[in-house]
Amino acid sequence: MSKFKRMQQRIWLIFGFAILIFVGSFYDPEPQTPQTSPNGSGIEQLIEQRQSDVQIEVSGTVIRLLSDDNEGSRHQRFIIELPSGNTLLIVHNIDLAPRIDDISIGDRVRVYGEYIWNDKGGLIHWTHHDPVNRHPHGWIRHHDRLYQ
């Protein structure tokens, strides 16, 4: 194969990759809808069935504020109690979303994120936007302000 042909193949290969990257930049995953209403009724089923990796929206009352987790990505942590009495740990990435500075025990919050089951009720994380658009965006609503 001549030097010119090899050079031509490389140029076409680079051109093909450039087109692939360009087209891939428009990829926007389908948003997932919450599995339950804000009153938390569907979360009880997830807890009972020990399911994980489910996008869900819940409402609850803050019952405990925990120290931040500063290992790796920084996370603000607090525990909410659902109307049923079950509790959930909320793990909010403060490297990707604003910290909720004025959160207090007794405050009501609505949370949309990914539920992970554990023997204490579970946790919700991914309560922030996804900067690379590969995961459904999450959020926390506190005092009519949206944190994502």
Dump pLDDT digits (tens) for 10-30.
Answer: 888 887 777 777 776 665 544
Residue with tokens 């692939």: 20
Instruction: Please give the average per-residue pLDDT across 71-94, as a whole number.
Output: 95
59 bridge partner residues: 110
Q: How far apart are CA 36 and CA 145, in angstroms?
A: 21
Alpha helices in 25-64 (DSSP H): 41-49
Instruction: Please give the average per-residue pLDDT across 131-143, as a whole number.
Output: 93
- Examine the pLDDT at 39 and tell me if it is beyond 70: no
Superfamily of domain 41-147: Nucleic acid-binding proteins (2.40.50.140)
Residues listed for the chain: 148
